[in-house]
Structure 1
Amino acid sequence: MFNPFRRNAGVAWQRIGLASELPDLHDDEGYRIAPRCKAFNIPKEGGSSEPVEDIDMPGDMKDQVLVFKYKGKVHAVDHQCPHSAFPLSQGNLFDIEDFGITLSTGIMCPKHDWSFDIITGKADRGTYKLKVWEVQLRDPPAGAEDDDKEVWVRRKQRIG
């Protein structure tokens, strides 16, 4: 049913693949994202997602989403740094901590060393904000492994 009071009600979910296809980046030293993540071109006006062939040469990143698993949880953010238009796939992940307690997870752009919270999108300086995508883990179709899940993403819905 269509709800006229909800913005972007028609924004489609895009299938990315199986969660098992994304290695957990926390298992590696350094937490560098590429080449162990995936990037997809997802057009704003519908259409299906297409994988980016070479993540080190991402081309036009305006409609690209970066999908990765960190500490067992799947995340999706814009591939392009909102400050410097640099590919975040070349950045590093880190834990945002306060007095030894992990509060969130951040990603650092290697071009200017700006950091962004991958949960809220907030930058460590300035008013720039990284676009964070919604992620759903769905049961796979019949015949797939029972313990695996399908990863689906969509642009985060704006409230208000």
Structure 2
Amino acid sequence: MSFLNPFRRAPSGDTWFLAGLSTSFPNITASGTTPLSNPLPCQDSEIAPGCKVFHVPNNDSSLATELDMNPGTGTDSKEIAPASLDLRDQVVVFQYQADFHAVDHSCPHSSYPLSKGTPFDIEDFGVRLSAGIRCPKHDWSFDLVRGNGDRGNYRLMIWETQLRPVAGSGRSTADDKEEVKEVWVRRKQRMG
């Protein structure tokens, strides 16, 4: 919707896309010690990278495709290494301390892939205020809620995440403690 024309449709680059089931994302709980790309156990007892990387075309988010974090290990001939595409068109989705986060794959300071970054707690006198991600190239950090950098005026692009019930299913995990949800992601909407 446009301010000048309220009946105009939203750009297709702002649509939601499905990133996967909540059980397919490992829950990273260790602060500052585990890089996102490390293989970790998921809730459904499989081993998977701590994050998923998606190529999201700027003009149509519905065409988002997941990139293989380990190219050459699968059988699909369409595998694309994350480094072979422009990092600016990629988003990293991960679960940290039971919260889902989605950020640009490219560090705003050095254009280094943040799938190699490490999530950590932002604390003050032992009180957890927020969560952040540290880029390993120059050790710069960014807030995962607002995108603010710890140095300079660099700002990390934060994407919106939403957990939705699985369509047509009331499935839950084996121990019935947590319902299985779908993780949906879209570019953060600009206000004004």
8 Å Cα contact 2:32/2:119 also seen in 1:
no
8 Å Cα contact 2:32/2:118 also seen in 1:
no
8 Å Cα contact 2:18/2:183 also seen in 1:
yes
> How far did residue 141 of structure 1 move?
1.3
Stretches of 4+ aligned residues off by more than 6 angstroms: none
Query: In the alignment, is residue 32 of structure 1 matched against residue 35 of structure 2?
Result: yes
Query: In the alignment, is residue 159 of structure 1 matched against residue 191 of structure 2?
Result: yes
**How many Å separate the matches in 1 of 2:167 and 2:128?**
35
> What is the match of residue 50 of structure 1?
65
| Unmatched tracts of structure 2, length 5 or more | 38-48, 72-80, 173-178
- TM-score if structure 2 supplies the norm length? 0.76
SS for the counterpart of 1:62 is helix
> How far did residue 31 of structure 1 move?
2.6
**How many Å separate the matches in 1 of 2:88 and 2:9?**
19
- Matched residue type, 1:61: L
Q: Which protein has the larger Cα radius of gyration, Structure 1 or Structure 2?
A: 2
| RMSD of aligned residue pairs (Cα, Å) | 2.1
Change in 2 beyond 3 A, CA 1:88/1:141: same
Residues paired across the two proteins, number:
158
51, 63, 68: which one aligns with 2:94: 68
Give the share of equivalent positions with the same residue, in percent: 47
**How many Å separate the matches in 2 of 1:98 and 1:107?**
16
Change in 2 beyond 3 A, CA 1:45/1:29: closer
8 Å Cα contact 1:106/1:116 also seen in 2:
yes
| Unmatched tracts of structure 1, length 5 or more | none
8 Å Cα contact 2:31/2:119 also seen in 1:
no
Moved more, 75-84 or 47-56: 47-56
- Matched residue type, 2:189: Q
Moved more, 19-28 or 41-50: 19-28
**How many Å separate the matches in 2 of 1:82 and 1:37?**
19
> How far did residue 8 of structure 1 move?
8.6
